Protein backbone atom coordinates (compact mmCIF):
# COMPACT_ATOMS: atom_id res chain seq x y z
CA UNK A 1 0.00 0.00 0.00
CA UNK A 2 1.12 3.53 -0.77
CA UNK A 3 0.79 5.27 2.59
CA UNK A 4 -0.66 8.73 3.25
CA UNK A 5 2.08 11.33 3.12
CA UNK A 6 3.23 10.01 -0.26
CA UNK A 7 2.84 11.92 -3.51
CA UNK A 8 0.57 10.65 -6.26
CA UNK A 9 0.35 12.10 -9.75
CA UNK A 10 -2.42 12.83 -12.21
CA UNK A 11 -2.10 13.38 -15.95
CA UNK A 12 -4.48 16.18 -16.87
CA UNK A 13 -5.42 19.29 -14.95
CA UNK A 14 -9.15 19.76 -15.47
CA UNK A 15 -12.09 19.72 -13.07
CA UNK A 16 -11.85 15.96 -12.50
CA UNK A 17 -8.20 16.36 -11.54
CA UNK A 18 -9.13 19.21 -9.20
CA UNK A 19 -11.70 17.11 -7.33
CA UNK A 20 -9.27 14.18 -7.26
CA UNK A 21 -6.60 16.43 -5.73
CA UNK A 22 -9.05 17.66 -3.11
CA UNK A 23 -9.95 14.08 -2.16
CA UNK A 24 -6.28 13.03 -2.03
CA UNK A 25 -5.39 15.98 0.19
CA UNK A 26 -8.18 15.16 2.65
CA UNK A 27 -6.81 11.61 2.82
CA UNK A 28 -3.30 12.85 3.62
CA UNK A 29 -1.65 12.50 0.20
CA UNK A 30 0.21 15.10 -1.85
CA UNK A 31 -0.94 15.53 -5.44
CA UNK A 32 1.29 16.38 -8.40
CA UNK A 33 -0.42 17.51 -11.61
CA UNK A 34 0.99 17.29 -15.16
CA UNK A 35 -0.93 19.55 -17.52
CA UNK A 36 0.29 21.40 -20.64
CA UNK A 37 -1.78 24.54 -19.92
CA UNK A 38 -0.84 26.87 -17.10
CA UNK A 39 -3.24 27.91 -14.34
CA UNK A 40 -5.29 24.75 -14.68
CA UNK A 41 -8.12 23.94 -12.22
CA UNK A 42 -6.28 20.98 -10.67
CA UNK A 43 -3.02 22.91 -10.35
CA UNK A 44 -4.72 25.47 -8.09
CA UNK A 45 -5.18 22.84 -5.35
CA UNK A 46 -2.18 20.58 -6.05
CA UNK A 47 1.16 20.34 -4.25
CA UNK A 48 3.11 20.66 -7.51
CA UNK A 49 2.13 21.54 -11.06
CA UNK A 50 4.11 20.63 -14.18
CA UNK A 51 3.16 22.65 -17.28
CA UNK A 52 4.79 20.87 -20.21
CA UNK A 53 3.67 19.03 -23.32
CA UNK A 54 3.01 15.31 -22.78
CA UNK A 55 5.63 14.52 -25.42
CA UNK A 56 8.45 16.15 -23.42
CA UNK A 57 9.65 12.80 -22.11
CA UNK A 58 12.37 14.10 -19.80
CA UNK A 59 9.90 16.46 -18.11
CA UNK A 60 7.43 13.59 -17.84
CA UNK A 61 10.10 11.41 -16.23
CA UNK A 62 10.93 14.17 -13.74
CA UNK A 63 7.24 14.31 -12.83
CA UNK A 64 7.05 10.50 -12.54
CA UNK A 65 10.10 10.25 -10.27
CA UNK A 66 8.34 12.42 -7.69
CA UNK A 67 5.24 10.18 -7.53
CA UNK A 68 4.48 6.82 -5.96
CA UNK A 69 1.78 6.17 -8.59
CA UNK A 70 0.28 8.05 -11.54
CA UNK A 71 -3.33 8.08 -12.76
CA UNK A 72 -5.45 9.97 -15.34
CA UNK A 73 -8.24 12.52 -15.22
CA UNK A 74 -8.99 12.33 -18.94
CA UNK A 75 -8.13 9.91 -21.73
CA UNK A 76 -6.76 12.23 -24.41
CA UNK A 77 -3.19 11.66 -23.25
CA UNK A 78 -0.75 10.34 -25.89
CA UNK A 79 0.25 6.80 -24.98
CA UNK A 80 3.73 6.59 -26.53
CA UNK A 81 5.44 8.87 -23.94
CA UNK A 82 3.94 6.71 -21.19
CA UNK A 83 6.02 3.78 -22.41
CA UNK A 84 9.05 5.74 -21.23
CA UNK A 85 7.82 6.18 -17.66
CA UNK A 86 6.20 2.83 -16.86
CA UNK A 87 9.55 1.60 -15.53
CA UNK A 88 9.77 4.69 -13.31
CA UNK A 89 6.31 4.69 -11.70
CA UNK A 90 3.20 2.48 -11.65
CA UNK A 91 0.57 3.75 -14.13
CA UNK A 92 -2.89 3.08 -12.74
CA UNK A 93 -4.80 2.13 -14.85
CA UNK A 94 -2.06 0.75 -17.11
CA UNK A 95 -1.41 2.56 -20.39
CA UNK A 96 -2.88 -0.39 -22.30
CA UNK A 97 -6.28 0.36 -20.71
CA UNK A 98 -5.91 4.02 -21.72
CA UNK A 99 -4.90 3.08 -25.27
CA UNK A 100 -7.92 0.79 -25.63
CA UNK A 101 -10.42 3.35 -24.34
CA UNK A 102 -9.20 6.33 -26.37
CA UNK A 103 -9.98 4.73 -29.73
CA UNK A 104 -13.51 3.54 -30.52
CA UNK A 105 -12.38 0.82 -32.91
CA UNK A 106 -9.86 -0.67 -30.46
CA UNK A 107 -12.42 -0.41 -27.66
CA UNK A 108 -15.17 -2.20 -29.57
CA UNK A 109 -12.84 -4.90 -30.88
CA UNK A 110 -11.53 -5.50 -27.34
CA UNK A 111 -15.08 -5.88 -26.02
CA UNK A 112 -15.95 -8.22 -28.88
CA UNK A 113 -12.88 -10.41 -28.23
CA UNK A 114 -13.81 -10.65 -24.55
CA UNK A 115 -17.34 -11.79 -25.39
CA UNK A 116 -18.92 -8.65 -23.96
CA UNK A 117 -22.06 -7.14 -25.53
CA UNK A 118 -21.37 -4.33 -27.96
CA UNK A 119 -23.39 -2.50 -30.61
CA UNK A 120 -22.86 -4.01 -34.13
CA UNK A 121 -20.21 -1.97 -35.96
CA UNK A 122 -17.80 -1.77 -38.88
CA UNK A 123 -14.38 -0.10 -39.03
CA UNK A 124 -13.22 2.30 -41.72
CA UNK A 125 -9.53 3.08 -42.09
CA UNK A 126 -8.39 6.53 -43.24
CA UNK A 127 -9.13 6.61 -46.96
CA UNK A 128 -11.32 3.50 -46.67
CA UNK A 129 -14.75 2.84 -48.13
CA UNK A 130 -17.16 4.41 -45.65
CA UNK A 131 -20.18 3.85 -47.90
CA UNK A 132 -19.42 0.12 -47.93
CA UNK A 133 -19.29 0.07 -44.12
CA UNK A 134 -22.70 1.80 -43.99
CA UNK A 135 -24.12 -0.88 -46.32
CA UNK A 136 -22.69 -3.60 -44.07
CA UNK A 137 -24.17 -2.15 -40.89
CA UNK A 138 -27.38 -0.89 -42.48
CA UNK A 139 -29.33 2.33 -42.01
CA UNK A 140 -30.04 4.05 -39.74
CA UNK A 141 -26.54 4.10 -38.32
CA UNK A 142 -24.11 6.49 -36.66
CA UNK A 143 -20.67 7.36 -38.03
CA UNK A 144 -18.11 8.32 -35.39
CA UNK A 145 -14.46 9.32 -35.50
CA UNK A 146 -12.31 6.48 -34.19
CA UNK A 147 -10.08 8.70 -32.08
CA UNK A 148 -10.73 11.10 -29.22
CA UNK A 149 -14.47 11.67 -29.49
CA UNK A 150 -16.64 12.77 -26.57
CA UNK A 151 -19.90 14.65 -25.83
CA UNK A 152 -21.23 13.86 -29.29
CA UNK A 153 -18.27 15.43 -31.09
CA UNK A 154 -17.26 13.77 -34.35
CA UNK A 155 -20.60 11.95 -34.76
CA UNK A 156 -23.09 11.94 -37.63
CA UNK A 157 -26.36 10.03 -37.88
CA UNK A 158 -26.98 8.47 -41.29
CA UNK A 159 -30.59 7.84 -42.36
CA UNK A 160 -30.55 8.29 -46.15
CA UNK A 161 -28.37 8.14 -49.27
CA UNK A 162 -27.88 11.91 -49.00
CA UNK A 163 -26.55 11.41 -45.45
CA UNK A 164 -24.10 8.79 -46.77
CA UNK A 165 -22.71 11.30 -49.28
CA UNK A 166 -22.38 13.92 -46.52
CA UNK A 167 -20.65 11.41 -44.21
CA UNK A 168 -18.16 10.33 -46.88
CA UNK A 169 -17.23 14.00 -47.40
CA UNK A 170 -17.10 14.81 -43.67
CA UNK A 171 -14.89 11.84 -42.75
CA UNK A 172 -12.49 11.93 -45.69
CA UNK A 173 -9.01 10.97 -44.52
CA UNK A 174 -10.17 9.98 -41.04
CA UNK A 175 -10.45 6.64 -39.31
CA UNK A 176 -14.06 6.02 -38.37
CA UNK A 177 -16.46 3.54 -36.83
CA UNK A 178 -19.94 2.93 -38.25
CA UNK A 179 -22.37 1.73 -35.56
CA UNK A 180 -25.87 0.35 -35.95
CA UNK A 181 -28.36 2.86 -34.56
CA UNK A 182 -29.91 1.41 -31.41
CA UNK A 183 -33.44 2.46 -30.49
CA UNK A 184 -32.53 2.28 -26.83
CA UNK A 185 -34.85 2.63 -23.86
CA UNK A 186 -32.29 4.55 -21.80
CA UNK A 187 -28.59 5.11 -21.23
CA UNK A 188 -26.93 3.82 -18.09
CA UNK A 189 -23.48 4.07 -16.55
CA UNK A 190 -21.59 2.10 -13.92
CA UNK A 191 -18.39 3.29 -12.27
CA UNK A 192 -16.23 0.41 -11.13
CA UNK A 193 -13.08 0.44 -8.99
CA UNK A 194 -10.47 -2.29 -8.61
CA UNK A 195 -7.33 -2.25 -6.45
CA UNK A 196 -4.04 -4.20 -6.86
CA UNK A 197 -5.35 -6.99 -4.61
CA UNK A 198 -8.22 -7.60 -7.04
CA UNK A 199 -10.93 -6.16 -4.77
CA UNK A 200 -13.75 -4.78 -6.94
CA UNK A 201 -16.59 -2.42 -6.07
CA UNK A 202 -19.20 -0.79 -8.26
CA UNK A 203 -21.19 2.38 -7.63
CA UNK A 204 -24.99 2.23 -7.98
CA UNK A 205 -26.17 2.31 -11.60
CA UNK A 206 -26.95 5.79 -12.94
CA UNK A 207 -29.59 6.58 -15.55
CA UNK A 208 -28.28 9.36 -17.78
CA UNK A 209 -30.36 11.81 -19.78
CA UNK A 210 -28.52 13.77 -22.48
CA UNK A 211 -29.34 17.00 -24.27
CA UNK A 212 -27.42 17.70 -27.51
CA UNK A 213 -25.16 14.72 -26.70
CA UNK A 214 -24.07 16.25 -23.36
CA UNK A 215 -25.09 14.84 -19.98
CA UNK A 216 -28.00 16.84 -18.55
CA UNK A 217 -29.33 14.71 -15.66
CA UNK A 218 -28.25 11.60 -13.81
CA UNK A 219 -30.81 9.67 -11.75
CA UNK A 220 -29.52 7.21 -9.15
CA UNK A 221 -30.51 4.48 -8.76
CA UNK A 222 -31.54 4.10 -12.40
CA UNK A 223 -35.27 3.64 -13.03
CA UNK A 224 -34.85 0.11 -14.36
CA UNK A 225 -35.58 -3.32 -12.81
CA UNK A 226 -33.13 -4.52 -10.17
CA UNK A 227 -32.22 -7.44 -12.44
CA UNK A 228 -31.00 -4.95 -15.07
CA UNK A 229 -29.02 -3.06 -12.42
CA UNK A 230 -27.37 -6.30 -11.30
CA UNK A 231 -26.53 -7.21 -14.90
CA UNK A 232 -25.01 -3.76 -15.51
CA UNK A 233 -22.87 -3.99 -12.39
CA UNK A 234 -21.77 -7.50 -13.31
CA UNK A 235 -20.76 -6.31 -16.78
CA UNK A 236 -18.61 -3.58 -15.22
CA UNK A 237 -16.98 -6.12 -12.90
CA UNK A 238 -16.21 -8.46 -15.82
CA UNK A 239 -14.61 -5.60 -17.73
CA UNK A 240 -12.50 -4.55 -14.72
CA UNK A 241 -11.23 -8.10 -14.23
CA UNK A 242 -10.58 -8.60 -17.96
CA UNK A 243 -8.45 -5.44 -17.98
CA UNK A 244 -6.71 -6.46 -14.73
CA UNK A 245 -7.72 -2.91 -13.81
CA UNK A 246 -6.04 -0.94 -11.06
CA UNK A 247 -7.95 2.31 -10.69
CA UNK A 248 -11.35 3.53 -11.75
CA UNK A 249 -13.32 2.87 -14.94
CA UNK A 250 -16.64 4.31 -16.13
CA UNK A 251 -18.73 2.01 -18.32
CA UNK A 252 -21.53 3.59 -20.40
CA UNK A 253 -24.31 1.26 -21.52
CA UNK A 254 -27.39 1.19 -23.76
CA UNK A 255 -30.52 -0.62 -22.56
CA UNK A 256 -32.80 -1.61 -25.44
CA UNK A 257 -36.55 -2.16 -25.36
CA UNK A 258 -36.04 -5.93 -24.97
CA UNK A 259 -34.01 -5.45 -21.77
CA UNK A 260 -30.62 -6.17 -23.37
CA UNK A 261 -27.50 -4.24 -22.40
CA UNK A 262 -24.70 -3.20 -24.77
CA UNK A 263 -21.51 -1.35 -23.88
CA UNK A 264 -21.31 2.04 -25.59
CA UNK A 265 -18.07 3.57 -24.31
CA UNK A 266 -15.55 3.28 -21.47
CA UNK A 267 -13.39 5.87 -19.71
CA UNK A 268 -10.44 4.93 -17.42
CA UNK A 269 -11.15 7.71 -14.91
CA UNK A 270 -13.82 9.37 -12.83
CA UNK A 271 -16.91 10.37 -14.79
CA UNK A 272 -19.38 13.23 -14.95
CA UNK A 273 -22.22 10.80 -14.21
CA UNK A 274 -20.54 10.04 -10.87
CA UNK A 275 -20.35 13.53 -9.38
CA UNK A 276 -23.48 12.77 -7.33
CA UNK A 277 -21.31 10.46 -5.19
CA UNK A 278 -19.73 13.53 -3.54
CA UNK A 279 -22.97 14.11 -1.62
CA UNK A 280 -25.05 10.97 -2.08
CA UNK A 281 -22.63 8.12 -1.34
CA UNK A 282 -20.53 6.94 1.60
CA UNK A 283 -17.41 7.10 -0.59
CA UNK A 284 -17.09 9.53 -3.51
CA UNK A 285 -15.73 8.38 -6.86
CA UNK A 286 -12.69 10.61 -6.27
CA UNK A 287 -11.83 9.08 -2.90
CA UNK A 288 -12.35 5.66 -4.46
CA UNK A 289 -9.87 6.47 -7.24
CA UNK A 290 -7.28 7.42 -4.62
CA UNK A 291 -7.98 4.23 -2.68
CA UNK A 292 -7.69 2.05 -5.79
CA UNK A 293 -4.40 3.47 -7.08
CA UNK A 294 -2.73 3.49 -3.65
CA UNK A 295 -3.75 -0.08 -2.81
CA UNK A 296 -5.98 0.88 0.10
CA UNK A 297 -9.13 -1.16 0.80
CA UNK A 298 -11.94 0.18 -1.36
CA UNK A 299 -14.61 2.32 0.27
CA UNK A 300 -18.28 1.60 0.84
CA UNK A 301 -20.36 2.58 -2.21
CA UNK A 302 -23.74 2.51 -0.46
CA UNK A 303 -26.01 5.50 -1.02
CA UNK A 304 -26.64 7.77 1.96
CA UNK A 305 -30.13 8.70 0.70
CA UNK A 306 -32.84 6.64 -1.08
CA UNK A 307 -32.31 8.43 -4.42
CA UNK A 308 -30.31 11.23 -6.00
CA UNK A 309 -30.91 13.43 -9.03
CA UNK A 310 -27.88 15.32 -10.34
CA UNK A 311 -28.03 18.22 -12.78
CA UNK A 312 -24.93 18.79 -14.89
CA UNK A 313 -24.43 22.57 -15.16
CA UNK A 314 -21.81 23.61 -17.71
CA UNK A 315 -19.41 26.47 -17.13
CA UNK A 316 -21.16 28.89 -19.48
CA UNK A 317 -24.63 28.39 -17.92
**What is the spatial distance between Cα 177 and Cα 123, in angstroms, rounded to a whole number?**
5
Residue 237, helix vs strand vs coil = helix
Summarize pLDDT for 121-152 with one digit per residue, the tens.
999 998 899 999 999 999 999 999 888 655 55
Q: What's the confidence (pLDDT) of residue 213?
A: 78
Beta-carbon contacts of 127 under 8 Å, excluding residues fewer than 6 positions away, are 173
Q: What's the confidence (pLDDT) of residue 182?
A: 83
**What is the spatial distance between Cα 195 and Cα 117, in angstroms, rounded to a whole number?**
25
Summarize pLDDT for 211-240 with one digit per residue, the tens.
887 899 999 999 999 999 999 999 999 999
The total number of residues written for the chain in this structure? 317
Say if CB 142 and CB 164 are below 8 A apart: no
Q: How confident is the model at residue 55 (pLDDT cuts 50, 70, 90)?
A: very high
Say if CB 312 and CB 272 are below 8 A apart: yes
Beta-carbon contacts of 66 under 8 Å, excluding residues fewer than 6 positions away, are 7, 9, 32, 48
Q: What's the confidence (pLDDT) of residue 151?
A: 54
Q: What's the confidence (pLDDT) of residue 150?
A: 57
Measured between alpha carbons, how far apart are the two ends of the chain, in Å? 42
Summarize pLDDT for 146-203 with one digit per residue, the tens.
886 555 567 899 999 999 999 999 998 889 999 999 888 999 999 999 999 999 999 9
Q: Which of 30, 28, 26 is nearest to 9 (CA)?
A: 30
Helix (H) or strand (E) holding 277: helix 277-280
Summarize pLDDT for 94-118 with one digit per residue, the tens.
999 999 999 999 999 999 999 999 9
**What is the spatial distance between Cα 12 and Cα 35, in angstroms, rounded to a whole number?**
5
Q: What's the confidence (pLDDT) of residue 153?
A: 62
Q: Decide if pLDDT at 252 tops 60.
A: yes
Q: What's the confidence (pLDDT) of residue 53?
A: 97
φ/ψ of 83, rounded to 5, equals -60, -30
Q: Which of 107, 87, 268, 292 is nearest to 196 (CA)?
A: 292
Summarize pLDDT for 56-104 with one digit per residue, the tens.
999 999 999 999 999 999 888 999 999 999 999 999 999 999 999 999 9
Whether the bond into 221 is cis, omega within 30 of 0: yes
Question: What domains does the chain contain, in order, with CATH numbers?
Answer: 7-91 (3.40.50.20), 120-180 (3.30.1490.20), 184-311 (3.30.470.20)
Amino acid sequence: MISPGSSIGVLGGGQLGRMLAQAATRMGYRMHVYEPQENCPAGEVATREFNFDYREVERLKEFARGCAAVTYEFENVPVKPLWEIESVVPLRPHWEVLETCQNRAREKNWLKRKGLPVVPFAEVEAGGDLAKAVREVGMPCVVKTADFGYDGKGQLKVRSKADVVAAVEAYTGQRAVVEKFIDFKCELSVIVARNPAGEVRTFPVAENIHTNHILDFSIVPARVPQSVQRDAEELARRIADAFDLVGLLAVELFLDSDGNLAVNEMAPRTHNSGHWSLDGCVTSQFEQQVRAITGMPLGDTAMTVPATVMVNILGDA
